[in-house]
Amino acid sequence: MSIDGNCGGAEATGVTPEGAAWLASAGTYPRSTRVLWDDQPTAPVVLACGSAFDVVSAPALFGRHMLDRLWDEGPGSGPVAAHRGRMLLFAAPGTAQRLPSLLEWEEWGSGGASERGRAIPPLLCHGTGDAVTVPAPTLLAPPAPTAPAHLGSRWLVAPDTRAPWLPGPEIMLWAAVRAARSAARRQLSEPSRAVPISIFPPADQDAKVYDVSRRR
């Protein structure tokens, strides 16, 4: 997969034609989607979930922690996009139906009564019957400060094959739990701050290259 980042000497390459074909295959009319991208190369597009992929949508900061856990300690991730303050983690079909049940079973359900339940922010699971808005294949690099609002979308892990590897519900559960535990450890180790910190850092901060050669 093509990776977003500006460190480590790596160069971001964006969504490949094969990756774009995979994204377009989620729609009823893939050719129309490709035509739209040709005519409006920076326009986000709405894609149906449930056939080619499901999507787990997390708040930006927590989603970034999930992504880091997947790459630093786990098997890697599927394609990942940032869109309007949310992190969209592409997952195997069926994940949207199964993941909420797994979170509840393990008492990590979002918004639960226990501390564990509140440790994971609401995760929006999009599957059969749902659709998500994703960045255009060209949107990889951080947008300019004066760009239109919709250009806040970009790919963090860009699809580059017609059959990318996608994590299932168990892996997404593992990543969410690891991210929650990591956040709890940071809160215990860091001094309290008088000034609130925004969860939306500038687009060019915290850029990271994920080593795709390690993905299992």
Grouping H, G, I as helix, E, B as strand and the rest as coil, residue 199 is coil
Q: How many CB atoms lie within 10 A of CB 107?
A: 12
Per-residue pLDDT band at 11 (split at 50, 70, 90):
very low
Tokens of 167: 């994590």
Grouping H, G, I as helix, E, B as strand and the rest as coil, residue 81 is strand
Output the pLDDT for position 58: 97
Instruction: List all residues 6 or more positions away from 145 whose beta carbon is below 8 Å from its beta carbon.
Output: none
pLDDT at 117 over 50: yes
Residues 61, 200: Cα–Cα separation, whole Å: 7
Residues in the chain: 216
Lowest mean pLDDT across 60-64, 139-143, 200-204: 200-204
What does the pLDDT average to over 89-116?
82
